[in-house]
Structure 1
Amino acid sequence: MTPLIAILRSIRWRAAGVAAVIVVLIATPWWGPRALSHLDFFRVRHVEVSGQRYLPPEDVLKRLRVDTTTNVWTDLHELERRVKTHPQVKSVSIDRNLPGTLVVHVTENLPVAFVSAAGGLRAVDADGRFLPIDPSRIAIDLPVLARADTVLLHLLANVRSVSPALFGEISDIRRTGGTDIALTLSSAQVRALASITAQRLADIIPVEADLARRKARVTELDLRFRDQVIARTQ
């Protein structure tokens, strides 16, 4: 065996030995990761953010407060807690992609409407919480409400879940007195009870399609009567 071959074999065995030790430490639930947290090899070099729609990735990075001195074996629960403080974050989980990447999986509190507020319209979620979404920076089209009425906001959230296309037609929703509400759609005004469900509201879809085929000009669709959609035309 030549000296060069012997040296190469020695290097391979040492590398294999180091790798084996690291694998054992990773598999050790308590003191293993703590020991690895002191190795420069596992310093954070990259952070990936996934799942966000309106939330800027840089907002997540600011909440994380990590840099290249942070080790990937740091407490992930603490990092998740930091990100969760953002009002637009509904849930978050963080994984490690060794040796130096943190992967942040975000589920957002999605906006369902714009509400009139000081300084203009503000995006809110289904529970009426204001979200830090700047409509001048992010293209977003939502129904408008005069105030954060959670009954109407929950209705909008359910409509988006049941029929995204119908949700996209709604430009505003409001109470009109008593138990009645009104919605402005791209094709007509809709009157309904405030207790209406998203499934019941979706009953107007086949009616709209039928009226469109007949080229009827609709002024109002009334859903206040059980199992009926009353169309008022010009």
Structure 2
Amino acid sequence: MSEEAERPSRRVWTSGRIAWAAVALALAGTVLTSPAWGPRALSSLAFFRVRRVELDGVRYASAAELVSRLRVDTLTSIWTELAPLEKRVAGHPMVAKATVVRRLPGTLRVQVDERVPVAMAPARAGIAVYDSAGTALPVEPSSAGGLDVPLVAVRDTTLLRLLGRMRREAPRLFARVSEARRAAGPGGARDEFEFTVTSPAPAGAWGGTTVVVRAMADVSVERLADLVPVEDDLQRRRVRVAEIDLRYRDQVIARLQ
């Protein structure tokens, strides 16, 4: 058979596939208006089998583990119930919430809200990583180039919640906190926090590479942000500072070296 004779048959075959896909998608749009029976009617069609899984929002969790939890393969219809898939993925210790949506004809898209690390602390087995709720996370601190979160002495849920708010509301300041700890006040009660904060300028611009910031344990992120304009002024004046005290209402006290 000549090349010219073969070409029409190829065009007919390709057009047939396109026509079938168009019919299948049109059928999907039609039957979905009847949710009671529509998905069941389409689930037997090979055209609507799962061929691809997309993950969005994954940074710390293992993508392979999340896909494995879905328990889907190329024989699974895209019209399978989504709630069980979401529940399985949300059962992963790194996942706070999972949402699964369909992208016709054969893709499942998984939106993952991860539990975000906010601190790490010494533990029997090495280093434990915690989220803002105080939950230990299965994250290896040395993975992905290292985990850039503050070091805390113990699992202090009040401190961890504050670090979580700081990470959300003042991420630049959070990124500069290398250590955070609870400390005793003048009366002996451990109702204060101390933060070791790295300098935003070259070493020596305001006394060294780090400064200790003291605050009450009920300090807000907004109050901690008062540190920034004080830093700007100290850098401009090139004042050498050992400590910045935010414990007193409406005052910021800089203790010089």
Structure 2: tracts of 5 or more residues without a match:
1-7, 199-209
Match of 1:232?
255
Match of 2:47 in 1: 41
Unaligned runs of 5+ in 1: none
Shift in CA distance, 71/209, structure 1 to aligned 2, threshold 3 Å: same
Instruction: Give per-residue Cα distances to partners, 1:120-174, cap 9 Å, x unaligned.
Output: 1121110010111122222321001122111001111111222111101111111
Question: Displacement, 1:193?
Answer: 0.8
**Aligned residues between the structures:** 225
Identity of aligned residues (%): 47
Q: For residues 41-76 of structure 1, what are the alpha-carbon distances to aligned partners after superposition, in whole Å with 9 as ceiling and x for unaligned?
A: 111111000122222322210211111121111110
Does structure 2 retain, via aligned residues, the 8 Å contact 1:190–1:221? Answer: yes
Q: Could you say which residue in structure 1 is the equivalent of 2:67?
A: 61
1:51 maps to what in 2?
57
Q: Provide the rounded CA distance (Å) in 1 between the counterparts of 2:169 and 2:31.
A: 48
2:133 equivalent to 1:127: yes
The separation in 2 between residues aligned to 1:17 and 1:184, in whole angstroms, is 64
Partner Cα distance (2:223, 2:62) in 1: 36
For residues 1-234 of structure 1, the aligned pairs below 5 Å read 15=20, 20-139=26-145, 140-177=147-184, 178=189, 179-186=191-198, 187-234=210-257
The letter for the 1-side match of 2:169 is V
Shift of 1:19: 5.2
Task: Answer whether contact 1:159 1:199 (CA < 8 A) is retained.
Answer: no
TM-score, normalised with respect to structure 1: 0.90
CA RMSD of aligned residues (A): 1.9
Q: CA deviation at 1:204?
A: 0.8
Give the Cα separation in 1 of the matches to 2:25 and 2:168.
48
Once residues 246 and 24 of structure 2 are traced to their aligned partners in structure 1, the CA distance between those partners, rounded to angstroms, is 71
Contact in 2 for aligned 1:90/1:108 (Cα 8 Å): yes
| Contact in 2 for aligned 1:159/1:198 (Cα 8 Å) | yes
| Alpha carbons of structure 1 residues 19 and 150: separation in structure 2 relative to 1, 3 Å | closer
* Structure 1, 97-106 or 51-60: larger mean CA deviation: 51-60
Report deviation, 1:40.
Answer: 1.5
- SS of 1:156's partner is helix
Q: 2:84 is matched by which residue type in structure 1? A: E
